[in-house]
Structure 1
Amino acid sequence: MASINLRPLDDRIVVQPSEAETTTAGGIVLPDAAREKPQRGTVVAVGPGRLLDSGSRGELGVAVGDTVIYGKYGGSDVEVDGQEMKILRESDILAKLL
């Protein structure tokens, strides 16, 4: 897991995407152009939570170290300290792997 100097705001979450699959289940090696973008990754930073009308912060459902699945086109791709990261809102996360 990466150690980064980045703190997301509100209900945003920084995820380090998993590596793209290089072979199919049948053993066929995929060229770079045929690899799909990964849709799962590891949470490396979380924001403080969404600011509620009451003035308190809403609690996030994920924590640093969780493995999550997110939408194919959700979030923003950024490069931090030479590593590809994805910044998502909590609502962009579809599931947390147990």
Structure 2
Amino acid sequence: MSLLRNVKNLAPLLDRVLVQRVKPEAKTASGIFLPESSVKEQNEAKVLAVGPGAVDRNGQRIPMGVTAGDRVLIPQFGGSPIKIGEDEYHLFRDSEILAKINE
């Protein structure tokens, strides 16, 4: 049994980024429901929390590339999955994030 009951209790360390995948649409714009088998897992995620950043050889903090609330593209595989209740989250290193989606 996990001690974690709420994702807000999880604070990433160093250059880690906590994300949750955005669920793909199960319905088209015209209202047609898609079967689960045709809905692929998306690589889009929402950043929930970020660590303070890694430290370089000189002891300087390396700034993070993303902040909480950003929408990002993540690799299809990788990261460390974390399950809290029915929800699944992932921890990635800042350098593993593929892109930030600007709106």
TM-score norm. by structure 1 comes to 0.82
In the other structure, the counterpart of 2:12 is 8
Q: Offset at 1:33?
A: 3.7
Query: Which residue number in structure 2 is paired with residue 90 of structure 1?
Result: 94
How far 1:25 moved relative to its partner? 7.9
Aligned-residue Cα RMSD (Å) equals: 2.2
Distance 1:85 1:12 in 2: 13
Indicate the SS of the match to 1:8: coil
2:78 alignment partner in structure 1: 74
Query: d(CA) in 1 for partners of 2:95 and 2:18?
Result: 13
What's the % identity of the aligned pairs?
39
Aligned residues: 97
Deviation at 1:3, TM superposition (A): 6.1
Distance in 1 between residues matched to 2:101 and 2:32, nearest whole Å: 27
* Mapped partners of 2:42, 2:81: distance in 1: 12
Moved more, 39-48 or 29-38: 29-38
Unpaired runs of 5+ residues, structure 2, are 1-5
Structure 1 unaligned regions, length at least 5:
none
Give deviations 1:16-70, integer Å, cap 9, x for gaps.
1101232568976443344322201110000110111111211001000000001
- The CA deviation at 1:92 is 1.2
Find the residue that maps to 2:95 and give its secondary structure.
helix
CA distance in 2, matches of 1:73, 1:11: 18
Q: TM-score, normalising length from structure 2?
A: 0.78
